[in-house]
Structure 1
Amino acid sequence: MSLKKDRNFDSLIDKFERRIYATAKGDWRLKLVKEDLEFLRQKNRLNIWDAGCGFAQIGLWFAERGHQLTLCDVSKKMLWRAKENFARAGLQAEFHHRSAQLLAAELLDFDLVMLHAVLEWLADPLTSLRTIMQRVKVGGYLSLLFYNRNAMVYSNTLKGGWRLKNLLNDSYMGQGNKLTPPNPQYPHEVIALLEQAGFEIQRHTGIRVFHDYLTPEALDHSDRNELFDLEYRYCRLPTYRDMGRYVHLVCRRLKA
């Protein structure tokens, strides 16, 4: 029997960029994450680990403000693109072609650890999270963005048909679209783990709390500005925020 492995995007980097980064919904995700992290970006020089950096949009955004960045990714092509982006901006960083959970043992503690859209692609998400978050120094911060299992269950229930049986027996995970993560997480379980480990939730945002539930026809007949105004109104309110396609948490470590 083969062991489950973390997902590597080397073979899908172009599709990943086209379907996720180069879209209005991708821009919306970046907007909200940046808003949640702006108070940290304004601090004096922080030592930051971008764990599973992808193209490093957020890491580069911090580096532009003078912060010190360490970046890693299991995808060689993703890491190469991140290096290109830093070089184009004339900025320096430390890069590692390693998985975050394996690299963690070799690193010192950081003022900020960012784990964005990584958790849901890992073979053992919560165990890996426990390892990675240990690199946050006491008084430091963890920025965690993850694919929300609530949204996955709800959106597929609305589509009905064969999906209902698969949802009931938990066999839907990772089926279908190659960009559908195999291990989405429930926000309440992630938050419980973080609080038990001595973290306090300071920012809690839902990413696309309405957009991804609309059918293509409904989207075609909707004013996008009005839709995103509604997204913005409700994305940080209880109930709605835990129904977003992604959930972003900014947590401060209060104790070891």
Structure 2
Amino acid sequence: MQQDRNFDDLAERFNARIYDTLKGQLRLDILKQDLEQFTRTHSLKVWDAGCGAGQISLWLAGFGHQMTLCDISAKLLNQAQQDFAEAKLQADFHHTSIQQFPPQLTQFDLVICHAVVEWLATPLETLKQVLDRVKTRGYLSLMFYNRNAMVYKNVIRGGWRLEPILNDRYIGVGNKLSPPFPQYPNEIIQFLQNNDFEIIQHSGIRVFSDYLNSESRNQTNEQELLALEHQYCRQPTYRDMGRYVHLLAEKKSPNG
């Protein structure tokens, strides 16, 4: 039976591969740009659903928001707690899954769900539970692993990878940091709209970087590449080719 991915066994490698790199910093930079409006408000109730090590939550806590974090990985949650303690910032921490998150903690002004959906055993069913925790006129910050990028990257690498893509057997194949359920942006956007959410920001993360081979990367000026990432990350076509897609959406009332 498929289960949600718990990163206890890969916590150290996860941080080294994801956040302690230039590509990890680019990811955080674009997320912070998209969430900039929340740096001008105070005391919002925020839930980080599947928080990992809580980098974005720590940043938001610095602006006075009331943070609630949950994750099934004890190691990553403990790291988040340590980072909050070192920064002398407060938050409520729950070692639990999204599905078992305490029902008495009802709705939030902002719900964060970053790099979680693609690791869930039931992605859209669980995402619906996340959406239900967003207040009317509240916001969802959703980042997910982009299936467009997974297809395109494997095709341009060629070789044995083509046949599994032709037969739709490539999902979940590869290293342990390759998620089993990447999502198509257009399908996620439609799902959000069907649940009374309006997309107000749409960004691609690493729209060029992940397509460079090692030879090309070695010949590339890093700062120029970063500048191009920022320049094109919100333009149609390019944004839907990013390794990750970030959507900031506002929850409307059912009657509009």
Choose which of 71, 74, 86 in structure 2 pairs with 1:73: 71
Deviation at 1:103?
1.0
Once residues 94 and 239 of structure 2 are traced to their aligned partners in structure 1, the CA distance between those partners, rounded to angstroms, is 33
Distance 1:102 1:12 in 2: 23
Secondary structure class of the residue paired with 1:157: helix
User: Aligned partners of 1:104 and 1:242: how far apart in 2?
Assistant: 34
CA distance in 2, matches of 1:205, 1:233: 11
Give the Cα separation in 2 of the matches to 1:213 and 1:202: 27
Using the alignment, how far apart are the partners of 1:174 and 1:15 within structure 2? 19
Deviation of 1:212 after TM superposition, in Å, equals: 0.2
The aligned residue for residue 152 of structure 2 is: 154
| Alignment size in residue pairs | 254
Q: Following superposition, which runs of at least 4 residues in structure 1 exceed 6 angstroms of deviation?
A: none
What is residue 112 of structure 1 aligned with on the other side?
110
Structure 1 residue matching 2:203: 3-state secondary structure: strand
Q: Does the 8 Å contact 1:104/1:132 carry over to 2?
A: no
> 1:104·1:135 contact (CA, 8 Å) conserved in 2?
no
- CA deviations on 1:120-141 (whole Å, 9 max, x unpaired) are 1111111110111110000000
Contact kept? 1:119, 1:146, Cα under 8 Å: yes
Q: What percent of counterpart residues are identical?
A: 56
Query: TM-score, structure 1 length as denominator?
Result: 0.97
Alpha-carbon distance between aligned partners in 1 of 2:88 and 2:103, rounded to the nearest angstrom? 30
- How far is the alpha carbon of 1:236 from its aligned partner? 0.2
Q: Which residue of 2 aligns with 1:35?
A: 33
In the superposition, relative to structure 1, how do residues 165 and 106 fare at CA in structure 2: closer, same or farther (>3 Å)? farther
In the TM superposition, what whole-angstrom CA distance separates every residue of 1:141-164 from its partner, at most 9, and x where no partner exists? 000000000000000001111111
State TM-score, norm by structure 2: 0.97
User: Which residue does the alignment assign to 1:203?
Assistant: 201
Task: Find the aligned partners of 1:184 and 1:237 in 2 and give their Cα distance.
Answer: 21
Measured after TM superposition, the shift of residue 104 of structure 1 is: 6.1
* CA shift for structure 1 position 92: 1.2
Residues 104 and 211 (structure 1), Cα distance of their counterparts in 2 relative to 1, 3 Å cut: farther
The one-letter amino acid of 1:78's match is L
Instruction: Identify which of 31, 44, 52 aligns with 2:42.
Output: 44
Q: Quick one: distance in 2 between partners of 1:165 and 1:124? A: 26
Correspondences of 1:131-150 after superposition (within 5 Å): 131-150=129-148
CA RMSD of aligned residues (A): 0.9
Give structure 1 stretches of 5+ with no counterpart: none
